[in-house]
Amino acid sequence: MSTTQYTEDNIRSLEWQEHIRLRPGMYIGKLGDGSSADDGIYILIKETIDNSIDEFVMGAGKVIDISVKEGSVSIRDYGRGIPLGKVVDVVSKMNTGAKYDSKAFKKSVGLNGVGTKAVNALSSTFTVKAIRDGKSKQATFERGILVDDQSVIDNSSRKGTLVQFIPDADIFHNYQYQMEYVERMVWNYVYLNPGLTIMLNGEKFYSENGLKDLLSNNLSGEVMHDIIHLKGYDIEMALTHAERSQSEQYYSFVNGQHTTQGGTHQSAFREALVATIRNHYNKQFDVSDIRSSVIAAISIKVMEPVFESQTKTKLGSNDMGPEGPSVRKFILDFMRRELDNYLHRNSNVADALLKKILRAERERKDLSGIQKLARDRAKKSNLHNKKLRDCKIHYSDAKGDRRLETTLFITEGDSASGSITQSRDVQTQAVFSLKGKPLNCHGLTKKVVYENEEFNLLQAALQIEDGLEDLRYNNVVIATDADVDGMHIRLLLITFFLQFFPELVREGHLYILQTPLFRVRNKKTTHYCYSSEEKQAAINDLKNNPEITRFKGLGEISPGEFKLFIGQNIRLEPVMMGKEQIDELLSYYMGKNTPERQSFIIDNLVVEKDIDDA
């Protein structure tokens, strides 16, 4: 039996940029193509902006100019500017930066000196320019390798730092920035830093009231009481309750970082809310009745925070600082004091809150019998049904990069679900098969979720009955045929989620699977085309009478081909919520027919023949 030689030649040392490019997930989470808010191209922007935000927090620079156009990003702040002698080092030497000195950056987001280096290494071109003391220094890199190190020159421009980069297309395949995600990121920055102005592609983003503005601008329906807005040293919170939704909705932040997966501070807030309410009304209300329909935002500042990943989406710190109280005690004390005082001073809000809790209690008791039967039915069904072909890794209990890849495909029909099932990655991709068209649930109560077998089993598969805390899949993907029936099923499913689980959409978990409309091929080459334009380009490329196939159903695509479309090069179209009221939106598109909707359909009608002939 031969053995592999193990000598000095087997030992290899990687340059810093090589390691980042070899293992990008360690530094920016998943890569993606820009269809998801946590894709790497947005992390590159965030890591760069974080440095400019730290300058603002330290009292240097009240404006940040950002440009995102055609894949190129430019970020210019007017802070102190990187010390000119260290411009190259801070973007190309690991573990180099000012944030190790707590005197300079007391409560910074990035503490490990990695962020900007990752941006540098993962960009096809990266330029950094620092201006201070009437002089400037500029350096340019390509994929992390220094290609132009300019000398210090005189410069009378305003001091600050300019970073420009283009994400490397070899790393981020077919990427495209969704400006809705960039705008949401920028809004969060200004909510958390009142007084800061960010100009994004010439548009001004500014907030005077912090987290109160965040809630006001993100409400998608009526609320039961005025927004409660409380601020203290190193903490700010805003709180209200939705009139119709029963789910919990949280926006949590640490040192300006949006912790989308929560952490110790969000858990402490939820606990503190229950404890304060019970104490204020002197009643042991059920936890679910207190938290039902809550919409809240909390921001804290922690000395040397510890996050559970480089992308800083979940706080792991238990303490506010080396000598400070625990995060739990800090938040609990603040809530018990400030929220209780607020309710005493604002009896109208206190009365509305009490009515909300009592209403949630009645609704819970009315549903309790149905819920128990539905849960039992779901458990029994899961033992022998074939609706859910589950995967091995789940978002709610996994750690590491692959939890972000966890996906549930919702499809209709045996042929389509069969193709996906045979093609999927069994580690991270699950399939839920619908039987026929789901019910139009617009205007119905949550009772229908438990009484309708399809909805009940789908809810159980996702594990979202009590909110997103135990969500089993990061990506919930509607995979239906590209025909009228398929479009109708999409609308019915989107209606279901918006009606009963809007936070799933709001938090960026819902997508539409894009599959090719055409296959254009000859004996040597095959092109899969997602639009008429791509089809024509493929025809022009192949020239010699290529064979053209129009895919009208997912079941027509063989499992071998399907593997190409749900793997590394998967194309997902995010379902995004604007500032429209959900009730008005659903009433317009899914309610009883109206002349306005008929006109909209006629004006926007695209006949399938037009697609085929284009």
Looking at residue 307, the DSSP 8-state letter turns out to be B
| Whether residue 104 has pLDDT greater than 50 | no
Task: Tell me which long-range contacts 533-539 makes (C-beta under 8 A, separation of at least 24).
Answer: 535/614, 536/614
pLDDT score recorded for residue 6: 62
| Whether residue 608 has pLDDT greater than 60 | no
pLDDT score recorded for residue 591: 78
> Angle at Cα 106 formed by Cα 105 and Cα 110, nearest 5°?
60
At 343, the amino acid letter reads L
Kindly state the average pLDDT of the residues 94-114: 56
pLDDT in tens, 371-388: 777 777 766 666 456 689
Do 123 and 143 contact (CB within 8 A), yes or no? Answer: yes
pLDDT score recorded for residue 325: 87
pLDDT score recorded for residue 111: 42
pLDDT score recorded for residue 383: 46
pLDDT score recorded for residue 385: 63
The burial class, CB within 10 Å (0-12 / 13-18 / 19+), for 338 is: middle
Kindly state the average pLDDT of the residues 244-261: 85
Q: pLDDT band for position 110 (50/70/90)?
A: low
pLDDT in tens, 205-222: 999 999 999 999 988 778
- DSSP code string of 320-378: SSTTS-BHHHHHHHHIIIIIHHHHHH-HHHHHHHHHHHHHHHHHHHHHHHHHHHHHHHH
Do 468 and 490 contact (CB within 8 A), yes or no? Answer: no
pLDDT score recorded for residue 607: 55
Residue partners of 569: CB distance under 8 A and separation at least 6: 173, 174
Q: pLDDT band for position 142 (50/70/90)?
A: very high
CATH assignment, 16-206? 3.30.565.10
Lowest mean pLDDT among 83-87, 313-317, 564-568: 313-317
Lowest mean pLDDT among 163-167, 257-261, 528-532: 257-261
Strand partners, 198: 64, 205
Compute the distance between CA of residue 564 and CA of residue 174 in angstroms, rounded to an integer.
14
Q: pLDDT band for position 298 (50/70/90)?
A: very high
Question: Model pTM greater than 0.85?
Answer: no
Q: pLDDT band for position 413 (50/70/90)?
A: confident
Among candidate residues 212, 208, 202, 416, the one with its CA nearest the CA of residue 297: 212
**Top-tier CATH class for 211-364:** alpha beta
| Whether residue 253 has pLDDT greater than 90 | yes
Exposure class string for 486-495: b at 16+ Cβ within 10 A, else e: beebbbbbbb
Strand partners, 527: 520
- Selected residue with higher pLDDT from 237 and 599: 237
How far is Cα of residue 317 from the mean position of the Cα atoms in its chain?
22
Where do the structural domains in the chain lie, given as residue ranges?
A: 16-206, 211-364, 385-515+551-613
Kindly state the average pLDDT of the residues 589-605: 76
Q: pLDDT band for position 126 (50/70/90)?
A: very high
Among candidate residues 314, 309, 83, 337, the one with its CA nearest the CA of residue 232: 337
Residue with tokens 């809004």: 187
> What proportion of the chain, given as a percentage, has pLDDT over 90?
52
φ, ψ (nearest 5 deg) of residue 492: -65, -40
pLDDT in tens, 326-367: 999 999 999 999 999 999 999 999 999 999 999 999 988 887
Under CATH, which architecture does the 385-515+551-613 domain have?
3-Layer(aba) Sandwich (3.40)
> What proportion of the chain, given as a percentage, has pLDDT over 70?
90
pLDDT score recorded for residue 315: 85
Q: Where are the alpha helices (DSSP H) in 434-531?
A: 447-451, 453-462, 484-500, 502-506
Do 211 and 300 contact (CB within 8 A), yes or no? Answer: no
